[in-house]
Structure formats: structure tokens, C-alpha cells
């Protein structure tokens, strides 16, 4: 739905859109991520709801001009709720032939493609695998192609600046951004302000970038290139103060907020790994909050140091991704055995082994639930959106400290780098957190594993507390005293006690929320970062009158108490996840139900469209599929 | 930000006065009769009340192995962790709580094999903890396989035809990793052991003390050469700061340098006197490397004592200083939730 107005300034008709999806793509050295996130920020500042998704190669500088070296950034912005970065792009900026090749299949029919003709040399075409120039043959007939020599226009704009050829070439991303700002009616000022901060010590570079940004805008106005402009007005988001938040920054802020609310200093042990390093880096900027960041020698030391800090009474956390999670496994078992609070973040990526470090996946659920020797239950949570990473990190802190347990957060590469507007919570929206610290000297001596009858959590006596000296460790315990014991009854009782404590936490967690009627044909269950695509698909089917509902799980262990009851209301249950069927296997085991599955393991997130198509097909073929299952 | 930990812990006000008796635990000590671990335990118990540290501010962190049961046998705070990771756990504890006296109890397999990486990085960072490395040159708790300090050719359960690889010299390794206090002692020389423990405790920074510890069951007699009254004087070189390197039952042998090459000389023949010998300087890393490398050389006595003792800033102090500096900046004056959430210039309001 759109209507047309005419801009007084440019005298170009302006189409009002509900949503738009745009993508920038170029070489990994082209500054694509910078202009993409600038476009996203500018849209957020205009009040749009946004979701953005960067996609970049694992190599820092893959061979220039190759399809493997293409870096891209997609953002969807809308005047109502936006759940995903969008399936198909309405506009693509391709800085070279490889970028076009990598992205052209993701452009909507009739969509705009702005192509930097300087990136379509014979060499570029060869590297991209084009036999002939796609801008000149008819292969792109179903799109609106706008060939612009962005590199040359940038050089013209900077003719009077004393910059090297290389520096000039590097500024071309801002020319593209300027054009897109005009095309979508964004304001230049926030980006100009960002540039002023970033290049405050380098006036030549600063002036050049601003000049190029404005030149891109002016070119779009003067060259009469585009017949129309687009406008996406503000979304009716809840009242409040907003900022943009990525998943990784959300995790970092959630941990620090947990530190403030619990009164415990935050200790973070980390080791660089894609795509979790941002958490480590972000936390180093909060030393004034007393945050202690320890960059360890390896993943094992990262978690072991955190466990040492936890033993010492700090709020302790570590973050990693798949391979690092494998290395942390043994120490996680110790955390379960010692019953110490600890938050462990796994920003999942495609595995196994090194896999695809920058690509997303949900394939570490089994590992989180079961990947330890012995019976070692712990709490597993998963955020649904980038901004929700904040709330889940805070909740992980609350649970860890209240129940004296490690908590795993399963984020993923898609959430980690994706951004969305976050309504900044007021102080009173976050509960106080009361750690289990004790100083009381009980009669008969301190018993480190004596449990609170309600929470089953042990007390936390930290070194420095007079008269509560005690020893803990990985050996099995007698019971309340924590004394080492290999007695069969003691072991059986402790295994049960540890499991009962974790199972009971379900009473202290929110119920699963149903989107849709509480009974019907299909209930779709999802978890983690697939929320946006699944919710978009389910809502679109609901609008078409289909009997489809959606439950999105944030707690994977223990499950929400009401999950079994919710499932009872539906004829069919479908679990959609980015693995070969992990949550579905757990649900089948736990609830002994016939459950269908929809999976994708390509390293790419779900699109709303593919889930919609699947559900349509499922609705049409249910009996067949039921027999097949 | 209100720091709960500061408010509940003693901050040096309580339990100054404790005795050896207060350190004896309820649990039975379960090392084999005659194990060298007992003498270390008793010397540590003897030392702690003399340090002026409150009992509740002492924490022992250990890995896995016979010696790593140590924390259970001493009535302070203790954490018996997992194989090889004590150094990493202790680092976290010390960074979290710099006011604590933190001790790492580890063995040759624990610290040098499975935990080798953590050991070298602990030394590199110079975290102010005391590492007691019980070196018995064997895996005892797993019943007798060769360790990274077992000797080449040594017959053990996992090397029935002789150990095929060569051992680490823990002292050289610690020096190479940038250790600021590196020493070696013997479980059967209680006086020297006690003195070295005291030196380790007094050093600010990572103190690395290798203790030759006899395993009576799986490697009995490994260090007899250095501990038996008959051979010890000829086979052990006691390093003493400012003193010439002299050894021998009659104090008639010494180490001199021929260029950069150490050699054993006789003081009896009259050709050399004490003035020709190396005067040991524990502040000199070059000398420490040189003398440490005599360790497995059969032509030289085994050096023990303090190899190196130098000052370098401690990791946890650097961290604390960076945090204090950040807190004293203008933005450090507001550590509220709203200050945390703020993103100046990138916020917008919806009314």
C-alpha cells in the first residue's frame, strides 16, 4: 500500500511505503558494514522499526573482486513492527560485479540495482564468473538497473582534496550512501556527526567523506537518475526513549546491569572468537563500572578464571562460540558440581569444527543441554531478537545468582550482529537481584551444600568471610557438609538434588506465550534467533485466516511449565529450527508426541517467505505428512 | 557501585591470631605413608600463621593429582578444581579479590603437561599468587605413568621399554615464561623447604617454587641423590644471593665461568679460590638461565634455592589501576543504569 506526494525540494514524486528492504554489497574492504549500519541508524533515528543483518566473509580481506570476498549489509525498515531484516531487497547497491553476482538472487522483481560501473571491468567480470557484462546484456531485465560510475564520481568530488588515489577510492562507499539517503528520504546529519567524531583528528579525511556523502545525495538529485523517491514514516513503537542495540552489545549491557542490580563486580573472562569477540571488546569500554575483563590465554582459561572469580564472590561470565564452547565443557561440569554462579554465552555459528565462523546456525542446542560428562544439568536460555539479548543476559544473571548455577545463553551470529531499536528500560523495570552471599556462622559449623528449602540453592560463603572457611571441588560430596564422598547413596542423592534444583527453576520463569488461538490446526514452535522469520510467517498466515499459532521458547532447560498444556490444543506441531532437528528431538523425548520438523542448515537465517511456503504446503498436505512421519 | 563483597568480608580485622592447630582440618589426610606431600603440608601449616594474613583471607586452589588434594587438608578457603586449570582459576580469583593470599597447589603432570599453557601465562602476567609445584616425576594418582619431568629412558607403567621423550626443566621453563620469582627446594630438607616457602610467600608477583617430592609408591628414590646425607653435599648446589657457588662435603668445589661456559673447579688444589667463582645474584636473569640449565647436566651438582627474584608490576594491579583510572574520569562519576544504557547522539524518543 502506498500513496504519492511530490517533494517540493526535488519535484520528484515520493512514494510512501510501509516497509522497505535495502542492501549494500561490495568487497570486504569497501566499507560496506559502515554505510550499512549508518543507514540503519539514520532510519532508527527517523522512528522506523528496523532489523539489520550484516553478512561478511570469514577472511579479513578475501581476494579483491571475488564472490567469496563479498561483504553485505541488509536492513529492513518500516512504519510498523519489523521482525526480520527482510527476505528480498527492494534496492541493492552493488559496488562490483562480484557483489551483484552474490546478491542478485535476493533482489525483488522490479527492484532497484545501483551498480558501480567502475567495478565491472573485464577483470571484475572474470573474477565474478560473468561471461559478459550483465549491465549490458538483457539478463537483468526484470530489475531497474541504475549504472553509476561511483568511483569516478567520488574522484571528481575529491578533485580539490589532497588525498591519495587509495584514500579517494576508499571514500566511495559514502557516495553510495548519499544516493541511498536521497532515494529513501533519510537525513544526512547523523552520519555527518558520526564522521566528525570518528575522524576528529584527521580533518582531511573527515572533510573528504562528508563531501562525498553530500555529492552522492546531490548526484541523485541533479542527475535525474531516479524517477521517484521513497518515504517510510515512523512506526508506532511503544512510548519511550530508544537506541539501537546489537545482540552482542545487548549481552554486554545485560551483564553489567546484572552487576549493578546485584551489587557484585562483574568479572569477564574471554578469548577472541568470531562472532563473540564483540562482547569481550564492548565490556572493556565499561571499566568505570568496575568491570574486570580478562583476556585469557585460551577458552579453557577464560571459563576457569571466571569460575575462580565466582568462587571469590564476583558476578562471573564468559562468552564464546562453538569451538570455544567445546573447550569449556569440562570447566562447565565443575561449575555444575561446585554449584557456583556463572553465565556462559555461546554465540552459535555453523559447525562442526571451524565450520563457517561468520554464518549463523542453531546447532549447539544438544551440546548446551547434554554436552558434559556425567549428569550435569544447568539452565539454558535463548534470546529471540538482538535487543532481547539484553533481557536474557540480565535474566541469566538473576537465575545464576539466585540458584547458584551456571546458565548458558544460546545466542547466534544472526542475533549477535543484527541490530534493532531497543526501548531503554527504566530503573524500576529491572528487578533487584539478591545473591546467596552469607556471613552468618551457624551452630555446628558452616555447611557449604546445605540447601535453601525453597530454591534448593546452597549458600555462597566467599573467601574473606571470617569463620566460614570451607573447601569445594569437583569430587562428589557427602551432602550438606560438602565433604568428599564416594558413597553410592551420597552420589545418588547429589545427582538428584542437582537435577531437582534446575528443574524447579521453571516455577521462577515466565510461561510460554502463545501467538494466536489456543487451539487449532498447527502450532509452530521455534527458539532463539529464528523468532522474526517464524512470527512474520505465522502472522501472515493468520491474516489469511489459517489456523496457525506460534510459541517461541526463550527457556530450553527447564522448559516453561505451560508448554505441555499449550501443545495439547493443536492437531499438529511443527518445530522450525536452523539445525537438523535438535529441539524437536528433545520435545519428542520429553512429551512423547508426534511432532513435525522444518529445518535449514545452510548457515543462513530463515526467510519469512520460506516458512510461509512450508506452512502452506503443510496445511495442504497434512494427512500425507502425518503418515510419512 | 555498591560492592557487596567489600561489605561482608573482614578487610583485615579478624582472625589474625590463628595457630597451626586452627589449620588442621576435620578430614583425614589420605596420602600414602611416607609421601613427600606430608612435609610440604606441615611446613605450609607452620608458615601461614606467621604471615600476618587473616586465615579467612587465604585460599588454596589446586588441580588434579595427589598433591592437588592439599586444599582438603588445610582449614582455609579451598577450591579443588580440574586437571591443569588451577593457575587459570587462581588468576580469576586473584583478579576478583586482590586482597586474598592465593596459593596454587599443582604437580608435574598438572602444571607442565595438561596445564602447561596456563602455567606459562600465569608467569608471564605475574599474577601475585604462590605456585607450589610438587614434582615427583611421575603420575602418581593414576598409578605410575611417566610425566613431563620423568627422565629419558625411565621405565614406568606407560614406558615399559623406557620413556622415549625428554623432560622439561621446570625452573628453565618458568624463567623462559618470564617468571619473577623462581626457586627449587627439596621435600626432605625441611629447613630449606620452610625458608623457600617463606620467600615465595613474601614475593610480590607469581612465585614459582618447584619442590622435589618423593613418591614412595611409584617413583621411590627419584631424588635420593639430592637428599641422602652421603651424596647430597656433592650433588646439590645451594644458591645464595651474594655468595659464591660452592658445594662439596668439604666446601672444596665451586662453579666458575669460562667465558659463558660454567665449569666445576676444585678449591683444594690452590689453583682457584672463592674469588674466582660465580657470585650468585638472584636479581640477574641471565645468570639464572645459565645456572638453571645445569639442572640435568650430570657433570654438575643440581642447583636449588632462589634462581631469580625480580620485581615487575602484577597483572591484577594493572587491572585495578585501569579500573580506578576509568572511575576517576568524568564518566566514572555516573554508574547508574541509565548512564549504562545511554548512547549519546544515537537515542531517540517516541512520545
Q: Domains plus CATH for chain B?
A: 14-243+280-326 (3.40.50.970), 244-279 (no CATH)
* Contact assessment for residue A55 and residue A25, using Cβ atoms and an 8 Å cutoff: no
Cell of B297: 647436566
Confidence of residue A87 (pLDDT cuts 50, 70, 90): very high
Q: Is A317 on the interface with B (CB under 8 A)?
A: no
- Check for a shared fold between A4-232 and A240-507: no
Q: How far apart are CA A294 and CA A311, in angstroms?
A: 16
pLDDT at residue A225 greater than cutoff 90: no
Q: What percent of chain A has pLDDT over 90?
A: 88
* Contact assessment for residue A509 and residue A542, using Cβ atoms and an 8 Å cutoff: no
Quick check: A464 and B5 CB within 8 A? yes
What is the model's pLDDT at position A627? 39
What is the model's pLDDT at position A56? 76
Domain A514-628 in CATH 3.40.50.300? The answer is no
- Minimum distance, in Å, between the CA of residue B10 and any CA atom of chain A: 6
**Gyration radius of chain B over CA positions:** 23
Across the interface, which of B58, B326, B348 has its CB nearest the CB of A242?
B348
Cell of A609: 517467505
Across the interface, which of A244, A427, A462 has its CB nearest the CB of B5?
A462
Which of A607, A597, A605 minimizes the C-alpha distance to A529?
A605
Give residue B251's region: left, alpha or beta (phi > 0; psi -120 to 50): left
pLDDT at residue B9 greater than cutoff 60: yes
At B86-144, the pLDDT tens digits run 999 999 999 999 999 999 999 999 999 999 999 999 999 999 999 999 999 999 999 99
Q: Is A627 helix (H, G, I), strand (E, B) or coil?
A: helix
Which of A53-62, A216-225, A502-511 is least confident? A53-62
If one counts every other C-beta atom within 10 angstroms of the C-beta of residue A629, the result is: 10
What is the model's pLDDT at position A11? 65
Provide the mean pLDDT of chain A. Answer: 94
pLDDT at residue A285 greater than cutoff 70: yes
Mean pLDDT of the region A563-582: 97
Query: Which residues on chain B are in Cβ contact (under 8 Å) with A287?
Result: 322-323, 325-327
What is the model's pLDDT at position A312? 98
If one counts every other C-beta atom within 10 angstroms of the C-beta of residue A373, the result is: 8
Q: Is A1 helix (H, G, I), strand (E, B) or coil?
A: coil
Cell of A521: 490446526
Q: How far apart are CA A67 and CA A95, in angstroms?
A: 12
Across the interface, which of B11, B27, B89 has its CB nearest the CB of A308?
B89
Residue of B nearest to A192 (CA): B345
Which of B129, B48, B148 minimizes the C-alpha distance to B86?
B129
Mean pLDDT of the region B193-213: 98
By CB neighbour count within 10 A (0-12 exposed, 13-18 middle, 19+ buried), where does A428 fall? Answer: exposed
At B271-286, the pLDDT tens digits run 999 999 999 999 999 9
Q: How far apart are CA A462 and CA B8, in angstroms?
A: 9
Q: What is the CATH number that goes with domain A240-507?
A: 3.40.50.970
Instruction: Give the mutation candidate from B344, B347, B348, B349 for the A interface (greatest A CB count, under 10 A).
Output: B348
Quick check: A312 and B96 CB within 8 A? yes
pLDDT at residue A624 greater than cutoff 60: no
Q: Is A424 on the interface with B (CB under 8 A)?
A: yes
Pairing label, strands A70-78, A19-27: antiparallel
Across the interface, which of A242, A290, A435 has its CB nearest the CB of B347?
A242
Mean pLDDT of the region A144-166: 93
What is the model's pLDDT at position A1? 37
Across the interface, which of B14, B96, B351 has its CB nearest the CB of A466?
B14
Q: How far apart are CA B15 and CA A625, in angstroms?
A: 72
pLDDT at residue B3 greater than cutoff 60: yes
At B181-200, the pLDDT tens digits run 999 999 999 999 999 999 99
Cell of A474: 569437583
The side-by-side arrangement of strands in the sheet containing A240-246 is: A144-148, A107-116, A89-94, A19-27, A70-78, A49-55, A419-423, A240-246, B347-350
Domain A4-232 in CATH 3.40.50.800? The answer is no
At B38-74, the pLDDT tens digits run 999 999 999 999 999 999 999 999 999 999 999 999 9
Q: Is A304 on the interface with B (CB under 8 A)?
A: yes
What is the model's pLDDT at position B345? 74
Confidence of residue B1 (pLDDT cuts 50, 70, 90): very low
* Contact assessment for residue A576 and residue A555, using Cβ atoms and an 8 Å cutoff: no
Q: How far apart are CA A468 and CA A439, in angstroms?
A: 7
Mean pLDDT of the region A423-444: 95
pTM of the model: 0.93
* Contact assessment for residue A340 and residue A404, using Cβ atoms and an 8 Å cutoff: yes
Q: Is A355 on the interface with B (CB under 8 A)?
A: no
By CB neighbour count within 10 A (0-12 exposed, 13-18 middle, 19+ buried), where does A333 fall? Answer: buried
* Contact assessment for residue A66 and residue A84, using Cβ atoms and an 8 Å cutoff: no
Instruction: Give the mutation candidate from A186, A289, A401 for the B interface (greatest B CB count, under 10 A).
Output: A289
At A102-132, the pLDDT tens digits run 999 999 999 999 999 999 999 999 999 999 9
CA B36 to chain CA centroid, Å, is 16
At B147-156, the pLDDT tens digits run 999 999 999 9
The side-by-side arrangement of strands in the sheet containing B129-135 is: A471-473, B77-80, B58-62, B101-107, B129-135, B207-212, B181-186, B302-309, B236-239
What is the model's pLDDT at position A629? 39
What is the model's pLDDT at position B64? 98
Mean pLDDT of the region A369-391: 98
Degrees, nearest 5: CA angle B133-B137-B138: 110
* Contact assessment for residue A342 and residue A406, using Cβ atoms and an 8 Å cutoff: yes
Provide the mean pLDDT of chain B. Answer: 95
Cell of A561: 511449565
In the numeric block, the cell 537438523 is attached to A580
Confidence of residue A213 (pLDDT cuts 50, 70, 90): very high
- Minimum distance, in Å, between the CA of residue B326 and any CA atom of chain A: 5
Query: Which residues on chain B are in Cβ contact (under 8 Å) with A263?
Result: 1-4
The domain ranges of chain A are 4-232, 240-507, 514-628
Quick check: A471 and B55 CB within 8 A? no
* Contact assessment for residue B164 and residue B171, using Cβ atoms and an 8 Å cutoff: no
Query: Which residues on chain B are in Cβ contact (under 8 Å) with A193?
Result: 345
Mean pLDDT of the region A478-482: 95
Amino acid at each position: 500500500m502506498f500513496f504519492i506526494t511530490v517533494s517540493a525540494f526535488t519535484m520528484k514524486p515520493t512514494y510512501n511505503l510501509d516497509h522497505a528492504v535495502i542492501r549494500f554489497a561490495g568487497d570486504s574492504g569497501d566499507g560496506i558494514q559502515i554505510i550499512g549500519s549508518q543507514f540503519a541508524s539514520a532510519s532508527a533515528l527517523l522512528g522506523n522499526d528496523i532489523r539489520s543483518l550484516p553478512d561478511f566473509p570469514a577472511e579479513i580481506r578475501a581476494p579483491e573482486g571475488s564472490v567469496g570476498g563479498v561483504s553485505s549489509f541488509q536492513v529492513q525498515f518500516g512504519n510498523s513492527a519489523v521482525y526480520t531484516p527482510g527476505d528480498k531487497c527492494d534496492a541493492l547497491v552493488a559496488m562490483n560485479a562480484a557483489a551483484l553476482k552474490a546478491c542478485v538472487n535476493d533482489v525483488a522483481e522490479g527492484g532497484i540495482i545501483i551498480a558501480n560501473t567502475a567495478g565491472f571491468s573485464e577483470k571484475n567480470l572474470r573474477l565474478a564468473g560473468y561471461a559478459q557484462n550483465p549491465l549490458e546484456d538483457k539478463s537483468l531485465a526484470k530489475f531497474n538497473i541504475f549504472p553509476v560510475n561511483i568511483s569516478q564520481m567520488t574522484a571528481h568530488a575529491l578533485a580539490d582534496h589532497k588525498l591519495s588515489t587509495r584514500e579517494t577510492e576508499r571514500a566511495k562507499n559514502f557516495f553510495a550512501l548519499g544516493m541511498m539517503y536521497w532515494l529513501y528520504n533519510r537525513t544526512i546529519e547523523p552520519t555527518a556527526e558520526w564522521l566528525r567524531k570518528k575522524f576528529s583528528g584527521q580533518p582531511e579525511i573527515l572533510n573528504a567523506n562528508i563531501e562525498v556523502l553530500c555529492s552522492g545525495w546531490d548526484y541523485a538529485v541533479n542527475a535525474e537518475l531516479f524517477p521517484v523517491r521513497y518515504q517510510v514514516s515512523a512506526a508506532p513503537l511503544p512510548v519511550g526513549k530508544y537506541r539501537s542495540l546489537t545482540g552482542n552489545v545487548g549481552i554486554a549491557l545485560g551483564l553489567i546491569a546484572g552487576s549493578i542490580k546485584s551489587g557484585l563486580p562483574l568479572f569477564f573472562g574471554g578469548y577472541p572468537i568470531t562472532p563473540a569477540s564483540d562482547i569481550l571488546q564492548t565490556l572493556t569500554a565499561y571499566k568505570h563500572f568496575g568491570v574486570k575483563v580478562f583476556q585469557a590465554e585460551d577458552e579453557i582459561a577464560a571459563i576457569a578464571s571466571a569460575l575462580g572469580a565466582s568462587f571469590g564472590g564476583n558476578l562471573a561470565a564468559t562468552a564464546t562460540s562453538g569451538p570455544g564452547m567445546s573447550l569449556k565443557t569440562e570447566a562447565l561440569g565443575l561449575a555444575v558440581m561446585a554449584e557456583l554462579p556463572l553465565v556462559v554465552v555461546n554465540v552459535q555459528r555453523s559447525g562442526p569444527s571451524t565450520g563457517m565462523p561468520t554464518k549463523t546456525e542453531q546447532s549447539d542446542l544438544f551440546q548446551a543441554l547434554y554436552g558434559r560428562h556425567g549428569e550435569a544439568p544447568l539452565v539454558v536460555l535463548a534470546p529471540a531478537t538482538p535487543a532481547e539479548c539484553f533481557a536474557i543476559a540480565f535474566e541469566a544473571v538473576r537465575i545464576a545468582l539466585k540458584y547458584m548455577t551456571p546458565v548458558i545463553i544460546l545466542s547466534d551470529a544472526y542475533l549477535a550482529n543484527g541490530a534493532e531499536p531497543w526501548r531503554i528500560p527504566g530503573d524500576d523495570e529491572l528487578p533487584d537481584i539478591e545473591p546467596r552471599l552469607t556471613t552468618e556462622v551457624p551452630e555446628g559449623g558452616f555447611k557449604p551444600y546445605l540447601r535453601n528449602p525453597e530454591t534448593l540453592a546452597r549458600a555462597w560463603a566467599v573467601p574473606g568471610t571470617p569463620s566460614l572457611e570451607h573447601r569445594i571441588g569437583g569430587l562428589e560430596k557427602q551432602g550438606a557438609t560438602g565433604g568428599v564422598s564416594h558413597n553410592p547413596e551420597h552420589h545418588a542423592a547429589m545427582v538428584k538434588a542437582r537435577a531437582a534444583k534446575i528443574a524447579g527453576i521453571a516455577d521462577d520463569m515466565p510461561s510460554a506465550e502463545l501467538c494466536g488461538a489456543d487451539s487449532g490446526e498447527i502450532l509452530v514452535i521455534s527458539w532463539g534467533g529464528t523468532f522474526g522469520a517464524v512470527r512474520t510467517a505465522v502472522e501472515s498466515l493468520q491474516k489469511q485466516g489459517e489456523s496457525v499459532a506460534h510459541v517461541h521458547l526463550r527457556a530450553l532447560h527447564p522448559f516453561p511449565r505451560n508448554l505441555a498444556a499449550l501443545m495439547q490444543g493443536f492437531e499438529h506441531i511443527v518445530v522450525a529450527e536452523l539445525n537438523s532437528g535438535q529441539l524437536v528431538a528433545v520435545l519428542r523425548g520429553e512429551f512423547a508426541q508426534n511432532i513435525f520438523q522444518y529445518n535449514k542448515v545452510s548457515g543462513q537465517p530463515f526467510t519469512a517467505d520460506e516458512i510461509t511456503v512450508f506452512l502452506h504446503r503443510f496445511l495442504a498436505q497434512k494427512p500425507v505428512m502425518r503418515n510419512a512421519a | 557501585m555498591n560492592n557487596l563483597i567489600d561489605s561482608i568480608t573482614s578487610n583485615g580485622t579478624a582472625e589474625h591470631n590463628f595457630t597451626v592447630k586452627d589449620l588442621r582440618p576435620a578430614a583425614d589426610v589420605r596420602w600414602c605413608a611416607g609421601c613427600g606431600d606430608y612435609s610440604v603440608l606441615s611446613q605450609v601449616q607452620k608458615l601461614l600463621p606467621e604471615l600476618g594474613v587473616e586465615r579467612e583471607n587465604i585460599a588454596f586452589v589446586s588441580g588434579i593429582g595427589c598433591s592437588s588434594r592439599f586444599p582438603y587438608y588445610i582449614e582455609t578457603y579451598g577450591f579443588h578444581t580440574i586437571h591443569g586449570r588451577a593457575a587459570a582459576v587462581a588468576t580469576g580469583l586473584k583478579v576478583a579479590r586482590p586482597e586474598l593470599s592465593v596459593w596454587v597447589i599443582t604437580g608435574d603432570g598438572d602444571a607442565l603437561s595438561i596445564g602447561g599453557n596456563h602455567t606459562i601465562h600465569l608467569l608471564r602476567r605475574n599474577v601475585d599468587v604462590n605456585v607450589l609445584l610438587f614434582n615427583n616425576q611421575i603420575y602418581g594418582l593414576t598409578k605410575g605413568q611417566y610425566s613431563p619431568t620423568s627422565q629419558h629412558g625411565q621405565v614406568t607403567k606407560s614406558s615399559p621399554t623406557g620413556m622415549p621423550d625428554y623432560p622439561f626443566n621446570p625452573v628453565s621453563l618458568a624463567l623462559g615464561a618470564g617468571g619473577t620469582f623462581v626457586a627449587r627446594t627439596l621435600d626432605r630438607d625441611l629447613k630449606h623447604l620452610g625458608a623457600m616457602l617463606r620467600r615465595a610467600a613474601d614475593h610480590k608477583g607469581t612465585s614459582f617454587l618447584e619442590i622435589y617430592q618423593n613418591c614412595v609408591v611409584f617413583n621411590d628414590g627419584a631424588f635420593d641423590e639430592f637428599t641422602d646425607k652421603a651424596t647430597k653435599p656433592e650433588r646439590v648446589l645451594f644458591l645464595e644471593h651474594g655468595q659464591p657457588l660452592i658445594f662439596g662435603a668439604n666446601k672444596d668445589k665451586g662453579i666458575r665461568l669460562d667465558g659463558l661456559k660454567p665449569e666445576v673447579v676444585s678449591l683444594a688444589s690452590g689453583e682457584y679460590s672463592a674469588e674466582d667463582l660465580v657470585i650468585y645474584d638472584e636479581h640477574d636473569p641471565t645468570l639464572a638461565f645459565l645456572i638453571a640449565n645445569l639442572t640435568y647436566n650430570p657433570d654438575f651438582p643440581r642447583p636449588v634455592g632462589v634462581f631469580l627474584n625480580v620485581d615487575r608490576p602484577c597483572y591484577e594491579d594493572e587491572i585495578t589501576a585501569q579500573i580506578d583510572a576509568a572511575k576517576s574520569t568524568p564518566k566514572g562519576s555516573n554508574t547508574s543504569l541509565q548512564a549504562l544504557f545511554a548512547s549519546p547522539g544515537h537515542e531517540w524518543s517516541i512520545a
